[in-house]
Structure 1
């Protein structure tokens, strides 16, 4: 009895397995033709559509529109002294002494005696010139007395009118004596000047750049004695392009003399800063760059908190005019070819040449793109970091970034 019951259970389990296998096989068979046709007529699955969109290349964009910004002009130049003097000897002679401050790196006051040329021969010439002046004055007085005597004798002679010869009244002799006195005075003036030139003096407050003489040197007229830079101020010649000039007001030298235009200067490494002003603008183009320059001045450069030494290369930051209808873009938005890539109405990549007005603090300010179909758009999506592999017309998915 027990054996029969076990056989029944085994038989039932076997039949269940067979039915399960048949059901799986039927489920794997292709649907009937009428069933396939009805499946194609069903609407597209929205999940599948979203998946297709997600396959588009994604690019980061910034949305921009035209706004008003103050232009900034950046230029570069070298700080140079207003006066750069090669000091030359005015007279010949032996150098008797040299001032202790007449050394490179020293700052000297105007009128400081830098050296002394032996002046014995010049003092002698001065004394002789003084003697000659005294003699000429005496000769003139004597000639004036003789002329008055000759005129008196002519009047006493009873002759009427003027004498036939000017020699009778000693007129030429008087002119000669007068000219001799003037010449003697000029000789005396030159002798005094030569004595003064034996003292080598600084013509202005100056920085000594070099000294080319020493005690015992013999110099001729015109011999180089040293090089001096003025220290009252320095000038920076800043050449600018036509576009940069357009971003600045119309400077007039007469107006700048009354109201200078402030300029901020930075060292090449950006660590040091100085305040200067535009003193004047040049009215010609340089032959090398074909650009026009403005002249920035910094007063008392060697008494600033950070000294501005002559020869320092600086960056000049100049605030310009206020310009309207500009796009502010990150610098990365300009491709290596100078183009702006943007997303058009069809979500496709497009590009246009960048018309840059100026750059400031990591941003570029450009004129808006003008389309023949739409004109100038009020808002547009600009690709933030264009790639060299971009192709015009490629459909993309824009991702707005800050």
Structure 2
């Protein structure tokens, strides 16, 4: 009975297992059939939207600023040279590089012994010429008196001859007396001629003495100039540089002793491209007298000066391009010849132009504007200037449009975007980089004390900064930089 029960149980479990397998196969078959017979469903596509920053194109009148680099030069530099050969017997105490001298100040003296001797000899020769001139004038006077006496004697002899002729005609006189009288007349005439010749020679002697006197005076003037040339003076107010003379040293004629630089007559020479040069021309093709600002950045402290364009180079130097322009500086406090500076030139103002970020413009000269459906539309514009990170453009349909500030390769015509508009930050009344402010005595002394005690600054830079701090009005940017390093 137990065996039969176990056998029936096994058959029952086998039948259940087979039934489940058949049912599972049927379900799987129905699922495959249903999957194969149903239509495929495509997912619904969604348009991608990009977020963009927008700026409003507002036409305005903007004055562009052209930036270039140049070198400070002195408009008046004099080479101090020795005009004569000799030994330097006297030298100014401040005859050294960087010394400030005034006009007419004695800088050096060369041994004047030879020049003084030549001047004395010229003086003696002049006095001899004056004596000879006076003697010639006296000789002329004597020759004139001699000629007058000879003419009187000739007149007497002529009257005596005429009397003898008259006596002979009346039968009273003799022929021998007439002949003697005639010979006397001839001799008197010869005396007159001799006197005239002597007068002519005396007058010639006067002219010769006058010429000799003139030559003597010229020689004395030359000797005086040679004597004056032994004393070397400053021709104008300036600063000495390149000094080589020493007291007791022997110098030759035309040897350079130093250079005198007028630190108050500075100019800046800078080079611009031909395109930039064309922007600085007026309607007549002449160079504009545009204002410039020169900046020398010294370890974050800027030395500035204002000036005006005066001229440009007559020709393009060999191997160079563009144009070289010169600007005269009105104030040059702290600047020195040879400084490499940044030059900012104020160009003529441009009307109806739009300032945009440089990232808004592509290489094809187009910008992307947003439409009413928040899609992008390309606009063609003309690039007028580049001003740092901004560009100045002009377009017919640009006014009032919202422009994409930062372009990317993903943005193009017809792209759906999500605009990000931000209000422009309020303008603060902070002083500009070029503003000048007045300092109180306490603040001025505090700044000067900090600069003087700063061991990291070279002496020449300290001198320039202190020179600018001594001015009535000081650049605000320089004050901010100094005070930021002071911690105040």
Partner of 2:203: 171
Residue 396 of structure 1: aligned partner: 415
Task: Output one character per residue of 1:200-227: Cα deviation in whole Å (capped at 9) or x when no partner.
Answer: 2221112111211212211110111112
Instruction: Name the structure 2 match of 1:6.
Output: none
| Post-superposition offset of 1:318 | 3.1
Instruction: Provide the aligned C-alpha RMSD in A.
Output: 4.1
Over 3 Å counting, the alpha-carbon distance change for 1:251 and 1:207 in structure 2 is: farther
Pair 1:385 & 2:406 matched: yes
Which of structure 1's runs of 4+ aligned residues deviate more than 6 A? Answer: 30-33, 163-167
Aligned length: 346
Per the alignment, residue 368 of structure 2 pairs with 343
Q: For 1:81-118, what per-residue CA distance to the aligned partner results, in whole angstroms no more than 9, with x for missing partners?
A: 22222211101001123222011121111222222211
Match of 1:318 among 345, 355, 361: 345
Counterpart for residue 335 of structure 2: 308
TM-score of the two chains, using structure 1 as the length reference: 0.71
Q: Which residue of structure 2 lines up, in the alignment, with residue 209 of structure 1?
A: 241
Shift of residue 264 of structure 1?
Answer: 2.5
Rounded to whole Å, the distance in 1 between the matches of 2:204 and 2:361 is: 88
SS of the aligned residue for 1:129 comes to: helix
CA contact (8 A) 2:370 2:404 kept: no
- Tell me by how many angstroms 1:242 deviates: 4.8
- Cα separation, 1, equivalents of 2:98 and 2:421: 55
Contact 1:339 1:354 in 2 (8 A): no
User: Which residue in 2 is equivalent to 1:143?
Assistant: 136
Q: What TM-score, normalized to structure 2?
A: 0.60
Q: Unpaired runs of 5+ in structure 1?
A: 1-21, 369-374
CA distance in 1, matches of 2:307, 2:34: 90
Higher strand share: 1
Residue 238, structure 1, aligned to residue 270, structure 2 = yes
Q: Work out whether residues 342 and 381 of structure 1, in 8 Å CA contact, stay in contact via their aligned partners in 2.
A: no
**Which residue number corresponds to residue 358 of structure 2?**
331
**2:294 matches 1:265:** yes
Distance in structure 2 (CA, Å) of the matches to 1:234 and 1:133: 47
| Higher fraction of helix | 2
Greater RCO, CA 8 A, separation 6+:
1
Alpha carbons of 1:349 and 1:58: their partners in 2 closer, same or farther (altered >3 Å)? farther
Correspondences of 1:362-373 after superposition (within 5 Å): 362-368=389-395
Task: Give CA deviations for 1:47-74 in whole Å, capped at 9, x if unaligned.
Answer: x67x3133xx555453424332123233
2:162 maps to which residue?
A: none
Larger Rg: 2
1:110 to 103, 113, 124: 103
**Which residue pairs with 1:53 in the alignment?**
48
